[in-house]
Structure 1
Amino acid sequence: MINKELKILGISKANLGTSTGTKQFAKGKFITSYSPVDGKEIAQVQCTTKKEYEKVIETAQQAQLSWRNIPAPQRGEIVRQLGDKLRQLKPTLGKLVSYEMGKSYQEGMGEVQEMIDICDFAVGLSRQLYGNTIHSERPGHRMYDQYHPLGIVGIISAFNFPVAVWSWNAALALVCGDVVVWKASEKTPLCAIACQQVLAEILKQNKLPEGISSLITGDAEVGNWLSEDKRIPLISATGSTRMGKEVAVKVAQRLGKTLLELGGNNAIIVTEEADLKMTLIGAVFGAVGTAGQRCTSTRRLIVHEKIYEQVKKSLVDAYKQLKIGDPLDSKNHMGPLIDQDAVAMYSKAVQSIKAEGGKILVKEEVLKGKGYESCCYVRPVIAEVENHFAIVQAETFAPILYLIKYKGDVENAIALQNEVAQGLSSAIMTTNLRQAEIFLSQNGSDCGIANVNIGTSGAEIGGAFGGEKETGGGRESGSDAWKVYMRRQTNTINYTTSLPLAQGIKFDF
């Protein structure tokens, strides 16, 4: 089904493995990529061995020595070419994302658009890697700070955004003068190979060295090699909180740097003064988009008691209209979960809801029969719960929406929202300015993302993306997120013939 797209993207049996550019090599065990759309095998990909990993890192080290000396605007030119190539390949790569991961085709193309957008952002950034000038307390001295490349950036990405997260990191790291080594999810290896092929061809056309962008393939063991490697100053890891904690410990033990973008348990607060039409659209897309497998997916809907019954009825009615099926068919609203393990997690979560006393409003179901051969399609669930339920406090990567009632002022709703371990995305639906401003204040949402009158899901690349608490504290994409990919240096220049010391210290002899 996807053979034409693989060919256009330059993927063949010859390059299904480790890569330091246009050179592919792998001798490890095989992993098989199955499509959750129809359950069919797409391809087998060979994993990276430890010996091959060492070759990748050595090649990356050599490439970085020359790459860092290329002026930043010229590095930006390479990223510009990547963005232009992605524009040409958007429908093709979007289809591969949809077929291998299971998200809708529109979402797949939207993910490629994110890649294009971050390339555009990074190109402009390549002329804006600003430091500050600082007034010295000593006469005849000048101070400033500047930023230098870190070296190798290790990227560990998850299945749910198999191409965008790599681009958020790679585009910024490259203009900052770093080289990248990417360990993609073993559930979506072909998307990673496609991205590596595209960038590798651009590097080759520009006569740039192997190793500026490298791909390693495998399971958690390969990720551990990156995390424990002292030659890699920064690890950017996206995935579960459990995974992030393991990475953080390993990197901290060698005093490396981490950029962690981990789990979310995102809520929309719906006040008594909300626009309910907007609320319904934001909540439904947030809950069922990507089959609830976004880190920004809406997990909890915290609704004021005055409008609770009305919101509940509207949601249940809306869910009856949802079409579930092949994500490449634009008529469908929701595709499959990534695999059978995800389906089992969905079913287990529903049982936990019932065991804790929750009420299922839209019943769970694993869909079977024609069009559902992969057995990865499920019916999205709505459940009435209490915020303190253990299952509600956890992140479930599935289309399960928890409906929670609150009473009184908006501060009560904010307290419920913040009463979870995760702190990624949040939103409030209200036409009341006071409520909106309280939500955005220091006494409001404790999340890295706080929205007013839009949902929790979907973010523009111009803003920094990430969250607090067990979400990890990292920031990717826009704003000044580029600074994490560079080392900061403070410089003081004395242009006099004397040597005064700071703080007025005297040291004469």
Structure 2
Amino acid sequence: MNIKELSSLKVLENNFGTSTGLTWFASGPKIDSFSPTNGEYIGSVFSTTKEEYEEVIAKAKETQLFWRDIPAPKRGEIIRLLGERLRKEKESLGKLVSYEMGKSYQEGLGEVQEMIDICDFAVGLSRQLYGNTIHSERPGHRMYDQYHPLGVVGIITAFNFPVAVWAWNAALALVCGDVIIWKPSEKTPLCAIACQNIISEILKENNLPEGISSVVTGDAEVGKWIAEDERISLVSATGSTRMGKQVAETVARRLGKSLLELGGNNAIVVTPSADLKMTIIGAVFGAVGTAGQRCTSTRRLIVHENVYDKVKESLVEAYKQIKIGDPLDSNNHMGPLIDRVAVSMYLDALEKVKQQGGNILVEGKVLEGKGYESGCYVTPVIAEVENHYEIVQHETFAPILYLIKYTGEVQNAIDLQNSVKQGLSSAIMTTNLREAELFLSQNGSDCGIANVNIGTSGAEIGGAFGGEKETGGGRESGSDAWKAYMRRQTNTINYTANLPLAQGIKFDL
């Protein structure tokens, strides 16, 4: 496969640049994209220069004044058209995601489906950007709150979900009356170009101006421009905790708003009453899916001593069945890591596991030979460890599953789960109602996502997505996450001929 096979997305040439919506331009250093599936060169994107970035932001600011005055349901109509276009392009865009990022084709299709789902959600939302009516303590007064567009939203996304996370932000921000500037990962730039081509076509067909949706390409320096820019009202950043801390500090210094979706160190608690067949399926998909490169990937399996040996035996047997290879081949369960830097981090983590006393149950290695020429294919690992090991306390973006034994009550397992700095996704496998409810209570999981009898990986767009602690505290996608993209305003209307003051204060002249 090569990029020309993706012609339905109009990604035909090897020179791509910055888009302000309809016009492409850029003259900075070239970013080459290589597929981790076979190591082949796909195409190149020119980076955005500072001068070109200034043009993009100026156009976005100008266009936002126009876009915010379009009624929200009319903005929703544009997102409806985006969802329809994505349905038509699902197969080819899913294939591009799989080829450039390395996840399985089924997961690539699933990622595009997430884009379609959030468009559907946003269309309905466009008629429900509601506030609240509040009873006033003063007679003849009415109070209410309402929401207005923020302005320009900067979106910084990671390589592992190269299109879906943009859509989560873009669909909501655009419906809310904001315009967007997207800085995609330099590891998956062509996925961003493809998405921008799709939305640009829709904007052009509906006679809408440039600047509603823009892409700026480049390395971390471009992300820094966005974080520092006072003209950008909200910076939504997805990536590592290290990156998120830098963005948060920079944005906070200018008293801006940030929405952060950062690292995860997700655990499944397995109690004595768990359905072990469900447990194994959930744990294996959570640990191996996307080659362990999801923020919600299962990193730790915390298993009660009564079922520990049985779970261990079943896991090892299941791992023997994992097929690794070209992610576009639907017979394979796992594709490659994103690049050789990720492979080095994987190998380094395995060394640390051994140095800190872990027992490797399923050995890890880099695969070589026919079909593995990219050097990015590795085998999934299972390691018996103690939760306090330094390596276990950190997120490794690779298919490494830590097996941890707990004894006694389920609260002991919950405490182990909560004892890491990250707080994104969590799950418990149990058929005991009391254990399930405890896990979901204030004394249970401290994560933003807590599941019962499903794994840590795979969230629906209807619920708010995000986590606590070093995961950043942000919420994207469903529920009332849309409020992050708007500014709140409280209004009081006096419809009497008098001016009573609040709290009964008298001020007579």
TM-score per shorter chain, which class?
over 0.9
* Aligned match of 1:143: 143
Cα distance in structure 1, aligned partners of 2:303 and 2:54: 53
Aligned mates of 1:483, 1:130 — CA distance in 2: 10
**Is 1:223 matched up with 2:203?**
no
Within 1, Cα distance between the matches of 2:105 and 2:399?
18
1:381-420 aligned at under 5 Å gives the runs: 381-420=381-420
CA distance in 2, matches of 1:5, 1:187: 20
1:134 corresponding residue in structure 2: 134
Deviation per CA, 1:104-154, whole angstroms, max 9, x where unpaired? 000000000000000000000000000000111111111110000000000
Q: What do residues 425-484 of structure 1 show as CA deviations (whole Å, max 9, x unaligned)?
A: 000000110100000000000000000000000000000000000000000000000000
Query: Is the 8 Å Cα contact of residues 142 and 492 (structure 2) preserved in structure 1?
Result: yes
Deviations 1:155-211 (A, max 9, x none): 000000000000000000000000000000000000000000100110000000100
Q: Residues 391-435 of structure 1: CA distance to partner in whole angstroms, max 9, x if unpaired?
A: 000000000000000000100000000000000000000011010
- Matched letter for residue 20 of structure 2: T
Contact kept in structure 2, 1:241 and 1:470, CA below 8 Å: yes
1:433 is aligned to: 433
Long gaps (5+) in structure 1: none
Mapped partners of 2:125, 2:495: distance in 1? 32
Q: Does 1:448 align with 2:461?
A: no
Question: What's 1:235 paired with?
Answer: 235
| Paired residues for 1:281-430 under 5 Å | 281-430=281-430
1:2 to partner: Cα distance:
3.0
Alignment of 1:183-194 (within 5 A): 183-194=183-194
Q: Deviations over 1:339-363 (max 9, x none)?
A: 0000000000000000000000000
Distance 1:419 1:392, change over 3 A: same
Contact kept? 2:3, 2:12, Cα under 8 Å:
no
Q: In structure 1, what is the equivalent of residue 81 of structure 2?
A: 81
C-alpha distance in 2 between matches for 1:16 and 1:452: 45
Aligned-residue offset at 1:4 = 3.9
For 1:153, the equivalent position in structure 2 comes to 153
Query: What TM-score do you get using the length of structure 1 for normalisation?
Result: 0.99
How far apart are residue 14 of structure 1 and its match? Answer: 7.6
Match of 1:168 in 2: 168
Write the letter of the residue equivalent to 2:443: N
Are positions 1:11 and 2:11 aligned together? yes
Question: Which residue identity is paired with 2:162?
Answer: P
Contact 1:101–1:160 (8 Å) recurs in 2: yes
Residues 14 and 309 of structure 1: CA distance in aligned 2, closer, same or farther (over 3 Å): closer
> Counterpart in 2 of 1:477?
477
Question: Residue 14 of structure 2 contacts residue 44 of structure 2 at CA under 8 Å; is this kept in 1?
Answer: no
- The answer to whether the Cα contact below 8 Å between 1:5 and 1:93 also exists between their aligned partners in 2 is no
Contact 1:360 1:382 in 2 (8 A): yes
Separation in structure 2 between the aligned mates of residue 364 and residue 439 of structure 1, nearest angstrom:
33
Query: In structure 1, what residue type is equivalent to 2:320?
Result: K
1:387 Cα deviation from its structure 2 partner: 0.1
Distance 1:336 1:370 in 2: 14
Return the offset for 1:284: 0.2
Task: Say if 2:14 and 2:45, in contact at 8 Å, map to a contact too.
Answer: no
Amino acid at match of 1:294: R
Comparing 262-271 and 497-506, the one that deviates more: 497-506
CA–CA separation in structure 2 for the residues paired with 1:58 and 1:442: 46
Does the residue aligned with 1:391 lie in a helix, a strand or coil? coil
Q: Per the alignment, do residues 30 and 4 of structure 1 end up closer, same or farther by CA in structure 2, a change over 3 Å counting? A: closer
Cα contact 2:3–2:11 (8 A) shared by 1: no
Kindly state the Cα deviation for residue 15 of structure 1 after the two structures are TM-superposed: 6.0
Distance 2:309 2:340 in 1: 35
Residue type of the alignment partner of 1:346: Y
How far apart are the structure 1 equivalents of 2:49 and 2:164?
Answer: 26
* SS of residue in 1 equivalent to 2:302: strand
Superposed CA deviations along residues 74-112 of structure 1, whole A, max 9, x for unmatched, are 000000000000000000000000000000000000000
Cα distance, 1:314 vs structure 2 = 0.3
Q: Does the CA-based 8 Å contact 2:267-2:425 persist in structure 1? A: yes
**Unaligned ranges ≥5, structure 2:** none
* 1:280 aligned onto 2:280: yes
Residue identity opposite 2:130 in structure 1: Y
Between the aligned partners of 1:106 and 1:13, the Cα distance in structure 2 is 26
Counterpart of 1:13 in structure 2: which amino acid? Answer: E
- Mean Cα displacement is larger for which, 13-22 or 397-406? 13-22
Q: Secondary structure at the match of 2:286?
A: helix
* Aligned: 1:114 with 2:111: no
**Corresponding letter in the other structure for 1:305:** E
Q: Tell me the amino acid that sits aligned with residue 443 of structure 1.
A: N
Does the Cα contact within 8 Å between 2:15 and 2:44 map onto a contact in 1? no
What percent of counterpart residues are identical?
A: 77
Runs of 4+ aligned structure 1 residues displaced above 2 Å come to 2-6, 12-15
Mapping for residues 179-218 of structure 1, pairs under 5 Å? 179-218=179-218
Over 3 Å counting, the alpha-carbon distance change for 1:194 and 1:372 in structure 2 is same
Query: Contact 1:5–1:96 at 8 Å: present in 2 too?
Result: no
Separation (CA, whole Å) in 1 of partners of 2:3 and 2:379: 30
Matches of 2:410 and 2:314, distance apart in 1: 22
Within 5 Å, which residues of 2 pair with 1:96-107? 96-107=96-107
CA shift, 1:45, in A, is 0.9
Q: Which residue of 1 aligns with 2:260?
A: 260
CA distance in 1, matches of 2:350, 2:231: 44
Residue 6 of structure 1, CA deviation: 3.2
Matches of 1:14 and 1:24, distance apart in 2: 13
Aligned to 1:97, the other structure's residue is in SS state helix
Q: What are the equivalent positions in structure 2 for 1:451-462 lying under 5 Å apart? A: 451-462=451-462
Preserved CA contact (<8 Å) 1:293 1:399: yes
Partner of 2:463: 463
DSSP-derived class of the 2:306 partner: coil
Q: 2:385 & 2:215 partners in 1: Cα distance? A: 43
Q: Distance in 2 between matches of 1:233 and 1:119?
A: 22
- Does the Cα contact within 8 Å between 1:14 and 1:24 map onto a contact in 2? no
C-alpha displacement of 1:44? 1.2
Report the Cα distance in structure 1 between the residues aligned to 2:406 and 2:429, rounded to whole angstroms: 14
**What whole-Å deviation, never above 9, does each CA across 1:283-331 have from its counterpart, x for those lacking one?**
0000000000000000000000001000000000000111000000000
Once the 2 structures are TM-superposed, how far is the Cα of residue 7 of structure 1 from its aligned partner? 1.8
Partner letter of residue 251 of structure 1? V
Aligned pairs, how many?
Answer: 509
Hey, what's the Cα distance between the residues in 2 that align with 1:126 and 1:394? 40
Classify the secondary structure of the residue corresponding to 2:482: helix
